[in-house]
Amino acid sequence: MASKVWLAQFDDEETDESIVRKAGEVFEKAGMAGVAQDGKSCAVKTHFGEPGDDSHVPPHFIQPFLDRLKEAGSKPVFVETSTLYKGQRANAVDHFHTAVEHGFGYENTGCPVTFVDGMQGNYHVEVEVGLKHFDTVAVAGDFPLIPSVLVVSHLTGHELGGVGGAIKNVAMGLTSRSGKMRQHDAGKPHVDEGECIACGTCARWCPVSAIEVPDMAQIDFETCIACGECLAVCPVDAIDFEWSENADNFSEQMAEYAYGILQDKESAAGFITFIHHTTQECNCPGKEMDRICPDLGILASYDPVAIDQAAVDLVNESAGKDVFQTMWPNTSYTGQLAHGERIGLGSREYELIRI
């Protein structure tokens, strides 16, 4: 059955004031306040941006959603998780500073910020899914405690998934470091001999005692379960991982993670996607990037597959070609959509309602 996707259209000339107004309108037309539950928290999942990037959804575009969620009686709270890679979002404290620097602090939005995978990005609960790639998925530990979620995404290309929209925002953004590694098919860690200062921190944190530190960290690969803890806690960034570049698996694995993460939310999950300053890569590299298409507007839906499908269709229609497949020829963005539909995450069929 076709899912409904609402579109508030705008273009490159749109003022911020107008975009904010249209954000509120599309939220209302799509009935997104339906995710709000009286007196209860509502998670608002977005990307706070890497230092140096200018392409995440800025807080003033999200403010109309926060205001309306409050008016509907819920208590919105920004939720995020630590990144797999090193940088200014790799743990809750650094990530919080980044969020505040980008205007997401309470003093600006009236909305608290919490990191649902703990201080170091290693807190999760296993949720059974029984799917093609995974029997269980690692859901960020505190996320199941929040009864509803509004996922606010910035559409981008992606070097492994082809496209990054609502599915990727959920799959990568609401899991622990271990879950991110599983989706990337990360191999075992390696220690940079020149960097290790033999402090022993990694050995103390390793959950399976796979590390010994005589004069530098040595990892027993038979015992290692590739959880990523050591990468997170090393104070001098001496540990790294090789990530798989199997794009087909990656896309399907993201769909399975999104499915597992949203499993208990049912009709309490809404999705809003901005096709605004859309770039070839996701927001994570932390650099200014060229736009790949004109600004096209804001989409809203209760279906993460339908909203991603509608977003790529709008971009491709505006360009008269398959922009994402052309940009990333070794990926298949349709994999995450097709697998998402197969496993019941949502529908690729949609009815586009222009407001």
Q: How far is the CB of 196 from ligand SF4 (least distance, A)?
A: 3
Q: How far is the CB of 240 from ligand SF4 (least distance, A)?
A: 10
* Residue that has been written with the tokens 């994999």 in this structure: 335
CA distances (Å), origin 173, targets 20, 143, 317:
24, 11, 28
Query: How far apart (Å, rounded) are the C-alpha atoms in residues 6 and 29?
Result: 8
How crowded is residue 257: how many other Cβ atoms within 10 Å of its Cβ? 31
Q: How far is the CB of 106 from ligand SF4 (least distance, A)?
A: 33
Q: How far is the CB of 180 from ligand SF4 (least distance, A)?
A: 13
Of 79, 49, 61, nearest in space to 25 by CA: 61
Query: How far apart (Å, rounded) are the C-alpha atoms in residues 185 and 181?
Result: 6
Q: How far is the CB of 191 from ligand SF4 (least distance, A)?
A: 5
Closer residue to ligand SF4 in complex, CB, 77/213: 213
Binding site for ligand SF4 (CB under 6 A): 189, 191, 196-202, 206, 208, 210-211, 213, 217, 219, 224-230, 234, 236, 238-239
Closer residue to ligand SF4 in complex, CB, 139/211: 211
Closer residue to ligand SF4 in complex, CB, 196/307: 196
Q: How far is the CB of 209 from ligand SF4 (least distance, A)?
A: 8
Closer residue to ligand SF4 in complex, CB, 179/340: 179
Query: How far apart (Å, rounded) are the C-alpha atoms in residues 345 and 355?
Result: 26
Determine contact, residues 296/209, Cβ cutoff 8 Å: no
Q: How far is the CB of 141 from ligand SF4 (least distance, A)?
A: 17
Closer residue to ligand SF4 in complex, CB, 145/197: 197
Of 66, 9, 63, 61, nearest in space to 35 by CA: 66
Q: How far is the CB of 140 from ligand SF4 (least distance, A)?
A: 18
The 3-state DSSP class for residue 213 equals coil
In the chain, beta strands by DSSP E: 3-9, 41-45, 75-80, 113-115, 124-128, 136-140, 148-154, 156-158, 162-164, 189-191, 211-212, 218-219, 239-241, 269-275, 297-301, 350-354
Query: How far apart (Å, rounded) are the C-alpha atoms in residues 147 and 102?
Result: 27
Closer residue to ligand SF4 in complex, CB, 163/238: 238
Tokens of 176: 């622990």
Query: How far apart (Å, rounded) are the C-alpha atoms in residues 252 and 202?
Result: 32
Closer residue to ligand SF4 in complex, CB, 43/191: 191
Closer residue to ligand SF4 in complex, CB, 139/219: 219
